[in-house]
Amino acid sequence: MVKRLAVYCGSATPRDPMYMELAWSVGRTLAERGIGVVYGGGRLGLMGAVADGALQAGGEVIGIIPQALVDAEVAHRGLTELHVVGGMHDRKRAFTDLADGFVTIPGGTGTMDELWEALSWAQIGYHTDPVGLLNAGGYYDHLVSFWEKMGDVGFLRPQHRGLLIIADTLEDLLERMAAHVPAQPIVRMSADDL
């Protein structure tokens, strides 16, 4: 059972208000379902909207933020818990330790870094949690095509193609993530299978 999900998203506020509304709705919906949110700890952009949506619905929100971002005064001070860590590697490790799965909503390079690490760690076998991608409004269409291309070319093993769980709506994504069956990790494969 999923108790907490790490939500990866941008700290920017895009021009189109759809993205902020989506982030707030994701936070609210998770809280209404009794699922805690673990996220980057910021108060700005989509990050802040996810946290505020969950908090307004009475949900648990745990922020993980590097000290440098606290010093830059971007930390959200109204969370259930705020963990200050040394750097980005510590932050991503904490996401994995505190959450039962990962949901990526629109974001930029930091969001991509977090998503790819969650996927690579699942592929290797460092965790067995579901990794979801919310492709709202087609934002990640090109990324989904790239994921498929990696599999078609052979850089993504057939048994790992299902590691990235993709849906256009949060409801569908959460259903698919709930049905997640861990793939055979690389650490349990023979050299001939690699």
Q: How confident is the model at residue 54 (pLDDT cuts 50, 70, 90)?
A: very high
Q: How confident is the model at residue 194 (pLDDT cuts 50, 70, 90)?
A: low
How far apart CA 55 and CA 62 sit, in angstroms, is 10
Q: What average pLDDT does range 121-131 have in this prediction?
A: 95
Which pLDDT score is estimated for 20?
Answer: 98
Average pLDDT across the chain, whole number: 95
Given a cut of 90, is residue 45 above it in pLDDT? yes
Helices (DSSP H) in the chain: which residue ranges? 18-32, 45-56, 67-71, 88-98, 109-124, 141-153, 170-178
Distances (CA, A) of 21 to 13, 44, 45, 124, 163: 11, 14, 11, 35, 27
Find out whether 55 and 78 touch, Cβ atoms under 8 Å.
yes
Given a cut of 90, is residue 69 above it in pLDDT? yes
Which pLDDT score is estimated for 191?
Answer: 65
- Catalogue all structural domains in the chain, each as residue range(s) with its CATH number: 4-179 (3.40.50.450)
151's CB contacts (< 8 A; 6+ apart) are: 158, 161
Which pLDDT score is estimated for 1?
Answer: 78
In sequence order, the β-bridge partners of residue 131 are: 102, 164
Which pLDDT score is estimated for 47?
Answer: 98
* 92: number of Cβ within 10 Å: 20
Q: What average pLDDT does range 128-135 have in this prediction?
A: 98
For the question of whether the overall pTM of this predicted structure is more than 0.85, the answer is yes
